[in-house]
């Protein structure tokens, strides 16, 4: 059975109303200061950064977003009987909301739908934390130990979860088809997965509006809008 690995980046979720980061209209280009909000050292040492982070989380479209045609196409591929694994750089949880089994989705950068204590590592829902912020706590602390809370995402300056990364590497080496969709392939180590897949003989397909550093390794490059291009592409690999 053909194993299809899909590496998804921010571009797959823009049709859901979530802006990307590094594109021409990306968040980092519009507001370079926003990067501090997701930088671990800044977040841990500056209460003002944390308070702003909580306000931004409360205003974020991420938790209100719904899956789009591209997310649904991935789920349809899995339901057709094809072996599919998703390796995502996104923290929005939209692949799972679209119906992909959680065990088949590896979230390299964590999830924005949960929070974690930086001291005792207790986890709870982001909604619960945002309800506390709405009730007047501008920098809520862990109810277990009083530690600083953060979203359960991997901030700049933090390591990826080694188990998640190991799973991503194993899938990348084993797949016959590797599709990089909506990612600039600039953030390591996720970006290197594209080259690793090609090294191990996978057909590498890049679906992205802008050129990537791995285009010269790709067997196929698709520049059309992801919402229409990805469903068309994935139909090739349906088992039924």
Evaluate if pTM is beyond 0.85: yes
Tell me the residue ranges of DSSP E strands in 28-125.
Answer: 83-88, 105-107, 110-117, 123-125
What is the CATH number that goes with domain 1-18+62-109+160-240?
Answer: 3.40.50.1220
Indicate if the pLDDT at residue 48 is higher than 50.
Answer: yes
* Catalytic residue from among 109, 121, 200, 238: 109
For CATH 3.40.50.1220, list the domain ranges present in the chain: 1-18+62-109+160-240
Q: What is the mean pLDDT of the chain?
A: 93
- Rounded CA separation 143/99 (Å): 32
Q: Regarding the domain delimited by 19-60+112-153, which CATH topology (the fold level of the hierarchy) does it fall under?
A: SIR2/SIRT2 'Small Domain' (3.30.1600)
pLDDT band at 1 (very low <50, low <70, confident <90, very high): confident
Indicate if the pLDDT at residue 28 is higher than 50.
Answer: no
Q: What pLDDT, on the 0 to 100 scale, is given for residue 187?
A: 87
Residue 71 a catalytic site member:
no
For CATH 3.30.1600.10, list the domain ranges present in the chain: 19-60+112-153
């Amino acid at each position: 059975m053909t194993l299809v690995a899909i590496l998804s980046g921010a571009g797959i979720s823009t049709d859901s109303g979530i802006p990307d980061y590094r594109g021409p209209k990306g968040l980092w280009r519009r507001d370079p200061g926003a990067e501090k909000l997701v930088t671990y050292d800044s977040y841990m040492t500056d209460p003002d950064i944390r308070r702003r982070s909580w306000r931004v989380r409360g205003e974020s479209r991420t938790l209100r977003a719904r899956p789009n045609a591209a997310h649904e196409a991935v789920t349809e591929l899995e339901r057709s009987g094809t072996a599919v694994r998703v390796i995502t750089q996104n923290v929005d949880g939209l692949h799972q909301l679209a119906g992909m089994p959680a065990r088949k989705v590896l979230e390299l950068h964590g999830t924005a739908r949960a929070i974690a204590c930086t001291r005792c590592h207790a986890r709870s829902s982001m909604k619960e934390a945002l309800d506390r912020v709405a009730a007047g706590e501008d920098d809520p602390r862990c109810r277990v130990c009083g530690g600083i809370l953060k979203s359960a995402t991997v901030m700049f300056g933090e390591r990826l979860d080694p188990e998640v990364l190991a799973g991503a590497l194993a899938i990348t080496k084993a797949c016959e088809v590797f599709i990089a969709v909506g990612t600039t392939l600039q953030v390591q180590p996720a970006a290197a997965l594209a080259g690793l897949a090609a090294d191990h003989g996978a057909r590498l397909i890049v679906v992205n509006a802008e050129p990537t550093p791995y285009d010269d390794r790709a067997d196929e490059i698709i520049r059309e809008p992801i919402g229409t291009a990805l469903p068309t592409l994935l139909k090739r690999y349906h088992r039924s």
